[in-house]
Amino acid sequence: MEDHDSSEDSGDSTSLSPERTQYIEYCRVVMSSIERLNYHVRDRRPCMTSNQTGAKWISELLEGHPDRIHDAFRMSKRIFTDLLHKLEVDHELQGSRRTFSREILGITLYILAQRGSFRLTKERFQHSTETISRYFSKGIRSLLLLSIDVIKPIDRQFRDIPAEIRYDSRYMQFFKDCVGVIDGTHVDARIPVEDQV
């Protein structure tokens, strides 16, 4: 029977030599890298193989019960189709050879409405993470172009003070020089007495 150093058997790394500790750390890094590599290459079968593709799912939503599309995208069928048309015609939303623009809009709205991660969205739409990322970027870009068209201040120089502020002494003293909400809406908010300083 061989005589072993008890400090190595006990797993106490504080008593190991610096060279031995460095070697053990190196082995951990190598094993971790091998494990990660093995995870990504262990199964080479196609991953996105569901018959329920994103295009089919969106078709189902558009043809099905109105609550389904509202639950998925937080808008009605009519709003979805009008938005799609507006983005296609005026704001550069275009599909590709394999994906229609309505699926790109669906991907974008699904992520925004459901707070969906790219991983969940890739499963729902049966595309790779890279494809989901690319289409989400396209959808967001079109929505941003739309926002430039839609969200415009009434007074582009911000010279006018909204009447709700100008004629109410409660607000005028605090908001006379402020740029208001774009549509002139001001929310009356009150701090509960127990939270007031």
**What is the predicted pLDDT for the residue at 111?**
96
What whole-number distance in Å separates Cα of residue 53 and Cα of residue 65? Answer: 19
**What is the predicted pLDDT for the residue at 170?**
83
**What is the predicted pLDDT for the residue at 184?**
58
**What is the predicted pLDDT for the residue at 148?**
86
Degrees, nearest 5: CA angle 190-192-196: 95
What whole-number distance in Å separates Cα of residue 192 and Cα of residue 84? Answer: 44
pTM metric for this prediction:
0.61
**What is the predicted pLDDT for the residue at 6?**
45
**What is the predicted pLDDT for the residue at 2?**
47
197 residues of the chain, pLDDT tens digit each = 444 444 444 445 457 888 888 888 888 888 888 877 766 666 667 777 788 899 999 999 999 999 999 999 999 999 999 999 999 999 989 998 889 999 999 999 999 999 889 999 999 999 999 999 999 999 999 999 998 888 776 667 767 777 777 788 887 777 777 765 545 565 666 778 887 77
Decide if 99 contacts 135 (C-beta within 8 A): yes
**What is the predicted pLDDT for the residue at 9?**
47
Per-position b or e across 146-182, b if 16+ CB within 10 A of its CB: beeeeeeeeeeeeeebbeebeeeeebeeebeeeebee
**What is the predicted pLDDT for the residue at 7?**
45
Radius of gyration of the chain from its Cα atoms, rounded to whole angstroms: 29
